[in-house]
Amino acid sequence: MTDPVNVIDSAARGLSYARRVRRGSVGAALTPYLYILPAVLIVGVVIVYPLVTIFQESTQTLSTGTSQYVGTANYDLVRTDPVFWQAVRDNATLLLAVPILVVLSLLFAVLLFERVRGWRIYRTLIFLPYIMAITVIGTVFGLLYEFDGPLNVALRGLHLNWLALDWLGNANLAIPSVMSVIIWRELGFGTILFLARLMSVREELFEAARLDGANWWQVQWHITVPQLRTVIEFFIIEIINMMSGVFNYIYVMTSGGPGFASQVLEFYIWQNAFAFRQGGIAAAAVLLLGVTVVFIFLQFRVRRGGAVADE
C-alpha cells in the first residue's frame, strides 16, 4: 500500500519544482535543451546548413560569376539528361558486385578457416590489396587492362586470343572491368571480417553437425552462414555504401569513358560541379540522388516492418 506521507512529500516536491519554474527559473526548464544544444549546432552546421545551401544552389545557375534564380530548371535538366541516367544505370550495375563479393569472401574465409595448406600466405595475399591506395590500384590496372597490356599479352600467349578484349576501351566492358578491380580490392576486407567471426564460433557446433552426418556444404549452409549472419549483413551495408563512392576508381581508370560508358553519379556530380562549373546541376543531381536514396530506405523500412508484423 502506498505510504500517504511519501505521497504528500513527493507532491510537495513536485509543487516546489513547479513553483521554481513558475517563479521564473526558466534556466532550469531550459537545462536539457542546453545539453543538447552543441549536438544540434553540430548537426545544423554539418548537415542542415549544407543541405539548405545545396537546395538553394540547385535553384540557381552560376554563369560567368553571377547567380541567377532558375526555379526547377536544373532539376529538369538533370531529369532529362541521358548521361545522368547512364550514371544511375552504371551505379546499379556496380551493385552486382555485392553478392559476388559476399560469396567469394565467404568461400575464402571458410577455406582459410579450415587451414588449407599455406593458409597464412593466402591470408596475407588476399588482404594485401585492401591496404593499397585506390589511385595506385587504378593506375596499375589501367595499364594491365590495356588492349596490348600484360593481361592480354598473357592471354594471347596462352592462345586465348578470343579472351584478349579491350577491357577499358570497349564501352560494354568498361564498367565490368572496373567492377572486377573493386571486387579484387574489397575481397580482403570481407574475407578477414568473416574469418574473424568464424574464429569465435564454438567448435562444438561444427563437430556436432559432422557427427550428425552433415557433409561440407551442409555444415556451411546450416552452421557457418547462420553464425555469420550479422557480419554478412554488416558487410553488405558496407559494400553498398562503398559502391556509391567509386569515384576514385572511375576517375583514375576510365574518366567516365569511353564516351559516357562508365559514368557514375559521383563522377557526374564532380564533373558538373568542378570541371564545368555547373554547381546548380550538380546540386540538383545530389538532391535527386538523396531523395531517391531516402525513398528506397523508407520503402525498405516499410516492407521490413510489414514482414516483422507478419511474423
Partner 1 sequence: MRSTGRRLLAGFSLAALLACLSPSMALHAAGHRLHPRSPITLTYWWWAESDVAGADKWMRQTVALFEKAHPDIQVKIDIQGTDNLISNFQAAAAAHKGPDLATQWATIPVLSQAWAGALAPVSDYVPASETKHWASTIENTYGGKLWGMPLYLIGIPVVYNKTLFRKAGLNPNKPPRTWSQFLAACAKLKAAGIIPFSMGNKDGYGGAWFWSIIGKSFLNSSDDVKRAVVGKTHFTDPQFTGWLTALQTMMQSGYINDDVASLDLNNGFGPFARGKAAMAFSTDANILGYAKAMGEQNIGVFLPPQIGSGKLSTWYDTTQSSSEMITSWSPYKRQAAMFLMFMHTPERLKALYDQTGAFPADDRFNLRAIKDPLQRQLLSWDLGMRSVWLENFVPTQIDLNGDQTAGETITSKSGGPDTAAQLWERTARQWRVTNPDGLKHFTGWIGGAI
Shortest Å distance, C-beta 291 to partner 1: 21
Shortest Å distance, C-beta 147 to partner 1: 3
Shortest Å distance, C-beta 196 to partner 1: 39
With vertex at residue 75, the alpha carbon angle to CA 71 and CA 80, rounded to the nearest 5 degrees, is: 135
Binding window for partner 1 (CB under 8 A); candidates: 61-69, 181-189, 216-224, 235-243: 61-69
In the bound state with partner 1, the residue whose beta carbon lies nearer, of 190 and 280, is 280
Shortest Å distance, C-beta 59 to partner 1: 13
In the shown chain, the binding pattern of residues 139 to 168 toward partner 1, with x for contact by CB under 8 A and - for none, equals ------xxxxx----------------xxx
Q: Is 69 in the site for partner 1 (CB under 8 A)?
A: no
In the bound state with partner 1, the residue whose beta carbon lies nearer, of 66 and 200, is 66
Question: CA–CA separation, 214 vs 206, rounded Å?
Answer: 9
Question: Which of the residues 199 through 228 are near partner 1 (CB under 8 A)?
Answer: none
Long-range contacts (CB closer than 8 Å, 24 or more residues apart) made by 54-60: 54/283, 54/286, 54/287, 55/283, 55/287, 57/279, 57/280, 57/283, 58/280, 58/283, 58/284, 58/286, 58/287, 59/280, 60/279, 60/280
3-state class (DSSP) for residue 211: helix
Contact with partner 1 (CB under 8 A): which of 25, 63, 135, 230? 63
How many residues interact with partner 1 (rule CB under 8 A)? Answer: 40
Question: CA–CA separation, 309 vs 303, rounded Å?
Answer: 10
Would you say 129 and 123 are in contact if contact means Cβ atoms under 8 Å apart? no
Contact with partner 1 (CB under 8 A): which of 75, 198, 280, 288? 280
In the bound state with partner 1, the residue whose beta carbon lies nearer, of 191 and 278, is 278
Question: CA–CA separation, 275 vs 270, rounded Å?
Answer: 7
Question: Which residues 6+ apart lie within 8 Å of 75 measured at CB?
Answer: 58, 284, 287, 288
Contact residues toward partner 1 (CB under 8 A) are 61-66, 68, 73-74, 77, 81-83, 145-149, 166-172, 254-255, 257-261, 271, 274-278, 280-281
